[in-house]
Amino acid sequence: MRRRAALFYPQLALTLVLCAFLIVPVALSIAAGVTVNFQQGLKSGLTLRWVAQVWDLYSETIYLSLQIALTCLAATLVLGVPLAYVLARQRGWLARLIEELLVVPLAVPGLAIALGLLLSYGEFKAFRTSWLFILVGHVLFTLPFMVRAVLAVLMSIDLKTLEEGAASLGASFGRRFFSVVLPNCRSGILAGALMVATLSIGEFNLTWMLHTPLTKTLPVGLADSYASMRLEIGSAYTLVFFVMIVPLLIALQILSRPLRRRARPAAATAEAAS
Amino acid sequence: MGPARRDRARLFLLAVPAFAVFAAFFLLPLAQLVAVAGQGPEGAATYLAVLTNPRYLHSLIATILLSAAVSLATLALCGVAGVFLERNRFFGRPLLVALLTLPLSFPGVVIGFMVIMLAGRQGVIGELTTALFGTRTVFAYSMAGLFVGYLYFSIPRVILTVMAAAEKLDPRLEEAARSLGAPAWRVARDVIVPALMPAFISSGAIAFATAMGAFGTAFTLATNIDVLPMTIYTEFTLNANFATAASLSLVLGAITWIALALARSAAGATVAAAG
């Protein structure tokens, strides 16, 4: 066996402490969500009572979050993929300006954007009180991720040659877009879609300001349960949230592995979110 | 109409929907913030409320100090762990990397709850100190709790950037330094840290900006923690002081935007240096 450097073990210890710092509370909260009495520990027995109670109290928030996440995904696909294509085709100053502008909603805190939305559209009561108001905030916040993910892939392929080839064979614009461009940026669309869904399901900063008592999303419900319910219910609710979001996060991790080196700047902006 | 012009018209049409949504729901609200901030009781002076009102100024300084402290602590911890993980191959390493980056997209509210699990009234740290010293340590519902929460969500972001940068380090430079008799701390200070500096600046600025603007964690822990996002929230919802809330939001937005612009230019420098 190769001898480890003298500093190997102290460094390993620090890394393990960091890892424990991140994972221990996750594990504790999962455990608390299925324990009869967290204060007494696991010996008080395991139960699904808290999860059932969460379902009774908060199932609507879960449905609404899924509804908003899926609609938001559809909206970012319809708006974002064509925009990414335009930005990939036009590399002038205007395209670069739009690209820069598009990232500004990520740099401005969600709270500020929500205030702006409330001050601009607050008086349109029907809009203000519907779930569409929350959807608008989510689309704004997730659109840059879709555009950047698709744009990164489009920039890495020879779009021009592909399109010219198809055009020379007589393919119309619509045909080229749907059967040449879109299939070629599949991986970017998938990465963008996972990111959009993950961010929308977890979005709180904007949503808290935009929601009404009748339009509560999952994270809004979480904040409510943390503040007013016993620890076990908050934990069970968090467990439900993890079950929804962790598969998305793992899929993102797997998907981003080969992309990581290529799309560094995009990833750096992506990490600025939440 | 020629084919080139038709092509341009088509591209324009494809970009219109996204741009319309962006203009209506981002540019207009932003302009509205600027307009409302100028209509405060003190008129245009409301823009400077953050500097002229001691309470807001205090809140701004506290937020900046907290965010800076979190960024520096995260950089120090992730600098060591990131270089370590990139340099060494051992059993369980991929799992460690996966676990360290898993909380990347946890929302602020959930991170607040994680802090409560660690340092809250029923938290594990309290249990440990009760067993060891007979007194229960609880610090979740304060600035210290917020520090822990921001550390929690900065670690996954920073460690990814540090690992990517450490991958590009040239081990020969360190060997040269070592063969010239430099002790480990000098190698770290004079070779590794300077080479990682662009990654530190870029990920540190991202951590700083995120901590400045974060709202969910503070909201979960305690609504009376004196940080700027909480101040804005209180002014808006409890005091209905729209002008001040708008002006403070603009200040907050400007600070995070500048920090992120810095991050992006530093990231650009890394790319250029590696290229």
pLDDT per residue as tens digits for the range B162-171: 998 998 888 8
Q: Give the SS3 label for residue B262.
A: helix
Please tell me the distance from the alpha carbon of residue B181 to that of residue A99, in angstroms, as a whole number.
49
The answer to whether B209 and A201 are in contact (CB under 8 A) is: no
pLDDT of residue A136: 95
Beta-carbon separation of B116 and A120 below 8 A: no
Is A119 part of the contact surface with chain B (CB cutoff 8 Å)? yes
Beta-carbon separation of B271 and A264 below 8 A: yes
How far is residue B124 CA from its own chain's centroid? 26
Q: Which two tokens mark B57?
A: 């100024």
Q: Where in chain B is the domain with CATH 1.10.3720.10?
A: 49-274
Question: Which are the contacts of A100, defined by CB distance < 8 A and separation ≥ 6?
Answer: none
Please tell me the distance from the alpha carbon of residue A13 to that of residue B274, in angstroms, as a whole number.
31
| Homologous superfamily (CATH) for B49-274 | MetI-like (1.10.3720.10)
CA end-to-end span of chain B? 43
Q: Which residue of B has its CA nearest to A116?
A: B29
Which residues, in sequence order, are bridge partners of residue A35?
A: A46
Q: Across the interface, which of A86, A139, A271 has its CB nearest the CB of B206?
A: A271
Q: Which residue of A has its CA nearest to B116?
A: A25
Q: Across the interface, which of A28, A86, A271 has its CB nearest the CB of B11?
A: A86
Q: Give the SS3 label for residue A29.
A: helix
Question: Which are the contacts of B41, defined by CB distance < 8 A and separation ≥ 6?
Answer: B243
pLDDT mean over B116-144:
89
Residue-level pLDDT, tens digit, chain A, 274 residues: 455 677 889 999 999 999 999 999 999 999 988 888 888 877 888 888 898 888 988 999 999 999 999 999 999 999 999 999 999 888 788 888 888 788 788 778 888 899 999 999 989 989 998 999 999 999 999 999 999 899 989 988 888 888 888 888 888 888 888 888 888 888 899 989 999 999 999 999 899 999 998 999 999 999 999 988 888 999 999 999 999 988 888 888 787 765 444 444 444 344 444 4
Choosing among A2, A30, A119, which should be mutated to test the B contact, i.e. which has the most B CBs within 10 A? A119
pLDDT mean over B95-120:
90
pLDDT of residue A105: 81
| Homologous superfamily (CATH) for A61-270 | MetI-like (1.10.3720.10)
Alpha-helical segments (H) within A90-109? 93-107
pLDDT-above-70 percentage for chain B:
96
Is A117 part of the contact surface with chain B (CB cutoff 8 Å)? yes
Beta-carbon separation of A83 and B184 below 8 A: no
pLDDT mean over B54-80:
94
Q: Across the interface, which of B28, B102, B213 has its CB nearest the CB of A109?
A: B213
Q: Which two tokens mark A265?
A: 């700047």
Choosing among B67, B109, B124, B212, which should be mutated to test the A contact, i.e. which has the most A CBs within 10 A? B109
CB neighbour burial string for A20-56, b if at least 16 within 10 angstroms, e if fewer: ebbbebbebbbbbbbbeebeeeeeeeeeeebbebbee
Contacts of B109 in chain A (CB under 8 A): 204, 219, 222-223, 226
Count of Cβ atoms closer than 10 Å to residue A11 Cβ: 18
Please tell me the distance from the alpha carbon of residue B192 to that of residue B52, in angstroms, as a whole number.
43
- Say if residue B190's pLDDT is above 80: yes
pLDDT of residue A258: 56
The answer to whether A61 and A220 are in contact (CB under 8 A) is: yes
Q: Across the interface, which of A12, A86, A271 has its CB nearest the CB of B15?
A: A86
